[in-house]
Amino acid sequence: MSIEKKLSILKAEINELLIKEGRLKDSVEILAVSKTKPIEMLQEAYRSGQRLFGENRVNEAELKAPQMPEDTIFHMVGHLQSNKVKKACSYFSCIESVDSLKIAKKINTCCIELNKVMDVYIDINIVNDQNKSGFLVTEQFYSDFEEMLKLTNINILGLMCIGAYVTDKDIIRNSFEDLKKLLKYLKGKYPTFNGDKLSMGMSGDYDIAISVGTTHVRIGSTIFGKR
Ligand SMILES: *Cc1c(COP(=O)(O)O)cnc(C)c1O
């Protein structure tokens, strides 16, 4: 099946879910996660109208970005290493994987030099998985979050997570509900925080994320095939 066809089926499915939830059509952004996939596939998706792409390696985005039309938007979805921040700040429009205060400060410093403001999501390790990156929700997280809010050249759009990696749909749902509750709590606690986005839901669980109320899904294999 062509990428165009897969994208149109995916959009129709998402709209059907949104309508079922009483939400507006096309009110969920689709990030096409193109990591490891060849440039021809990204170009095909672009020709089908897709503009938002997700990559998890800075070096890969560096190779792909110049081969795509000007209005292509890349989001970083993988753990970012300190020594790659500078490049990341020039190739990505948004970094969804801010997982430490240290990396947020580095992004901020680079963006001051570049005279830009970087959109970011804060990556939350919502299932307390030791093998995953992302903030654990501890007292330290709240103080780090407060510090991040003060950084002038990052704009915190909202929170990102990877759902529980299990087959039990209720456990996955709970992890998404937890992220949604955390966003609400942060908005109440910090009046200067006006982020209202949730980046949750991947190929295997976007239906659950949509029913919980996500605003942004990150879909790879459903669009581009298995990696
Ligand atoms: C790879 C990846 C995705 C997409 O995963 P699929 O299961 O292929 O849809 C989403 N988010 C992150 C952070 C990823 O690394």
Q: What is the pLDDT of residues 59-89, one digit of tens each?
A: 999 999 999 999 999 999 999 999 999 999 9
Mean pLDDT (whole number) for 97-103: 98
- Given a cut of 90, whether residue 46 has pLDDT beyond it is yes
pLDDT confidence of 130, banded at 50, 70, 90? confident
* Tokens of residue 86, six digits: 């500078």
The per-residue pLDDT for 40 is 98
Please state the atom number of ligand 1 nearest to the C-alpha of residue 96.
13
Query: Mutate which of 33, 76, 129 to test ligand 1's pocket (most atoms within 8 Å of Cβ)?
Result: 33
Which among 35, 50, 24 has a CA at the least distance from the CA of 215? Answer: 24
* Measured distance CA(192)–CA(140) in Å, rounded: 19
- pLDDT tens digits, residue range 198-218? 999 999 999 999 999 999 999
Residues 6 or more apart in contact with residue 181 via CB below 8 angstroms: none
- Given a cut of 90, whether residue 131 has pLDDT beyond it is no
Mean pLDDT (whole number) for 124-138: 93
Q: Is the CB of 154 under 6 A from ligand 1?
A: no
How close is the Cα of 83 to the center of ligand 1, in Å?
23
The per-residue pLDDT for 15 is 98
**pTM beyond cutoff 0.95:** yes
Q: Are the C-beta atoms of residues 126 and 179 closer than 8 Å to each other? A: yes
* Measured distance CA(193)–CA(186) in Å, rounded: 7
* Tokens of residue 82, six digits: 């300190």
Give ∠ CA 125-127-133 in degrees, rounded to 5: 30
Q: Is the CB of 219 under 6 A from ligand 1?
A: yes
**DSSP reduced 3-state for 128:** coil
Beta bridge partners of 119: 94, 155
**DSSP reduced 3-state for 154:** strand
Beta bridge partners of 120: 95, 156
Q: Is the CB of 35 under 6 A from ligand 1?
A: yes
Mean pLDDT (whole number) for 20-28: 96
* Measured distance CA(32)–CA(55) in Å, rounded: 9
**DSSP reduced 3-state for 96:** strand
Please state the atom number of ligand 1 nearest to the C-alpha of residue 219.
9
Residue type at 207 in one-letter notation: D
pLDDT confidence of 162, banded at 50, 70, 90? very high
pLDDT confidence of 3, banded at 50, 70, 90? very high
* Measured distance CA(155)–CA(193) in Å, rounded: 9
Distance in Å from the first CA to the final CA of the chain: 16
- Given a cut of 90, whether residue 129 has pLDDT beyond it is no
Mean pLDDT (whole number) for 25-51: 98
Mean pLDDT (whole number) for 118-137: 94
Burial of 213: CB neighbours in 10 Å, binned 0-12, 13-18, 19+: middle
Please state the atom number of ligand 1 nearest to the C-alpha of residue 206.
9
Mean pLDDT (whole number) for 156-167: 95
Mean pLDDT (whole number) for 115-121: 98
Mean pLDDT (whole number) for 128-143: 93
